[in-house]
Amino acid sequence: QVQLVETGGGLVQAGGALRLSCVASGLPFSNYAMGWFRQAPGKEREFVAAISRTGHNTYYADSAKGRFTVSRDNAKNTAFLQMNMLKSEDTAVYYCNARAGHSNDYWGQGTQVTVSS
């Protein structure tokens, strides 16, 4: 069945960088827009960034603009989130999401990102 697996999380100093990966299987990857969301303790899950099926269009939350870059490699069924200039408020579990139009959403298990100040 459909699986999304996030990797690349960890502990990083404020001002540092981290790159997250999301490997998808069991779906026609090129038919799905890919998104990144995050959830901090005691808070609701929030949108971070997304990329269209072809990779020609990207979207960012205001908190991510200028610091984060979303990309994808359709040949490898993988989406990426490059995070630079990290802040303590970026600390959260980061989730990968796959969506085809208004159809079902698929989610990964998440990867922990902790930014120390």
Q: Is the pLDDT of residue 102 over 90?
A: no
How are beta strands 111-116 and 10-13 bridged, if at all? parallel
**42: exposed, middle or buried (C-beta count within 10 Å: 0-12, 13-18, 19+)?**
exposed
Instruction: Tell me the helices (H) and strands (E) count for the chain, helix number first.
Output: 0, 11
Residue 59, CA atoms < 13 Å, CB-side half-sphere: 11
Q: Are 77 and 24 in contact (CB under 8 A)?
A: yes
**pLDDT (tens digit, 9 = 90+) per residue, 9-65?**
999 999 999 999 999 999 999 999 999 999 999 999 999 999 999 999 999 999 999
Mean pLDDT for 56-84 is 98
